[in-house]
Amino acid sequence: MKRTEAARRLAPPAYATEGSAGADLAACESVVVPPGEWRAVATGIFLEIPRGYEIQLRPRSGLALRRGVTLLNAPGTIDSDYRGEVKVLVVNHGREPFRIAPGDRIAQMVLQPVVVMNFEEGGGLSETERGSGGFGSTG
């Protein structure tokens, strides 16, 4: 079904359906992303994420399949101490300009627990069979 302008205006900025991993995230501004380019798209959403969690911004598979549109930095990270507006870095790999209207769902958000890393300098690393082999070293 084609969404009308009125439906777009009424759409909430983010919505989750039961059983879905992510909540869809909508744009709050009109943006045109030309082929081969990217834009930071405003959502009008400001979050306070509990410490120990992050939100990942992920592409929507339908936009990727139909339009070649995805997120430049997928998954985008929203830190728990970030208090600014959530923006979505939309990149257009397709051949047509990608037109975004307020209310269009352009990404999805997933809440994830994170393990906080603390680094300290050590004397050396333990030996393993792999050692420093990587990038196809096993064939």
**Site mask, ligand DUT, residues 60-99, x = CB under 6 A?**
-------------x--xxxx--x---xx-x----------
Q: Which is nearer to ligand DUT, 63 or 86 (CB)?
A: 86
CB of 13 to ligand DUT, least distance (A): 14
What is the number of other CB atoms lying within 10 angstroms of the CB of residue 138? 7
Q: Is 38 in the site for ligand DUT (CB under 6 A)?
A: no
Complex with ligand DUT: residue 84 or 139, whichever CB lies closer = 84
Question: Would you count residue 59 as binding ligand DUT (CB under 6 A)?
Answer: no
60 within 8 A of 105, measured Cβ to Cβ = yes
Please name the helix (run of DSSP H) or strand (run of DSSP E) that holds residue 5, with its range, or none.
Answer: helix 5-10
Q: Which amino acid is at 35?
A: P
Distance between CA atoms of residues 41 and 30, nearest Å: 8
Q: Which residue is nearest to ligand DUT (CB)?
A: 76
Residue count (the chain): 139
Question: Residue 112, interface with ligand DUT (CB under 6 A)?
Answer: no
Q: How far is the CB of 59 from ligand DUT (least distance, A)?
A: 11
Q: Which residue carries 């205006």 as its tokens?
A: 9
We find the least distance from the C-beta atom of residue 106 to ligand DUT, in angstroms, to be 11
Largest CA distance in the chain: 64
Residues of 53-80 as b/e, b for ≥16 C-beta within 10 angstroms?
Answer: ebbbbbbbeebeeebebbbeeebbebee
By beta-carbon proximity to ligand DUT, the closer residue of 84 and 124 is: 84
Residue 29 Cβ vs ligand DUT, minimum distance, rounded to whole Å: 14
